[in-house]
Structure 1
């Protein structure tokens, strides 16, 4: 799964890395991005790539209650192309969710040790995400979810699931405009090769979402 992550890069780094021409409105880095918060995402609007904010926790367009979003921070890539909540989004509402590390908790007996996980050979990367627009009366929300898969060899020791991190050369293909069949997108995700990762222990300080400073990423003394 993916339940917390970081984005510490400055705005110019992000614009350059992802080929975005327009400035990011109200950009703020964060040491502890949590579900329910607004997260930086990139879509292709048919003409160009655009970066902006979506609320983390998918509220499908047909949902009666926006609170469903708290249960939909992740979507299983193995079945997303078949599920009513995600099927149409797989076809035409895909996004990149920008990050530079994520946290996962490794169970050790009764305790859970938080770890910060990074891609070894690049600073910035993107999770494969899906987004949707929800509107009810005068309220409108744009929300997203992060696709996950079975843990690779590196992650298996930490957790049985992991977010899908797109290789740099497949990011634009993921958000390419135009409708595609959900089964084609499912097959595309099967071709995504695992990025090389590294991890280190951090303090349980990160467990509290309101904690958002460099203490979240400080390596834990051995």
Structure 2
């Protein structure tokens, strides 16, 4: 699997260098739309060389590759909340778990607006 991405090498007038990159996103396919409205552009293997070879690929052709992947390419599975901590970095982060119903947050005094407070909406 390969994501479409861009990268740039920049050198400041003072000589410092910065390399940066980004994964390109597109609208989500039907599988991912319930989770998020965007998804990474996942290139078909037949298009990898087209994407990489910027000397031969015109911009219009590259734009044609920036589409959502097939709906059956990815699966959505519940995973542990361990994925929310950068300190966790192991293969078990991908293990499927039983879904847990989120409990609504408890109301606190700060949630209640003063009676004389106006609102914008």
Pairwise same-fold verdict (TM > 0.5): yes
TM-superposed deviation, 1:170: 1.0
Aligned to 2:4: 128
Which one of the candidate residues 15, 18, 21 is aligned to 1:141? 18
Alignment partner for residue 82 of structure 2, among 185, 194, 205? 205
Give 2:61's match in structure 1, choosing from 184, 199, 216: 184
Match of 1:220 in 2: 97
SS of corresponding position for 2:76: strand
**Unpaired stretches in structure 1, ≥5 consecutive residues:** 1-124
Normalised by the length of structure 2, the TM-score is: 0.67
Give the aligned partner of residue 29 of structure 2: 152
**Alpha-carbon distance in structure 2 between the residues aligned to 1:172 and 1:180:** 9
**Structure 2 unaligned regions, length at least 5:** 100-121
Q: TM-score, normalised by structure 1?
A: 0.39
Distance 2:65 2:90 in 1: 37
After superposition, give the CA deviation of every residue in 1:160-215 in whole Å (9 maximum; x if it has no partner). Answer: 1110101111111111140644333213435x752621121111111122321233
Higher RCO (CA 8 Å, separation ≥ 6 residues): 1
Structure (1/2) with the larger strand percentage: 1
Specify the structure having the higher radius of gyration (Cα). Answer: 2
RMSD between superposed Cα atoms in Å: 2.2
User: Which 4+ stretches in 1 moved above 6 angstroms?
Assistant: none
Report the count of equivalent residues.
97
C-alpha distance in 1, partners of 2:91/2:65? 36
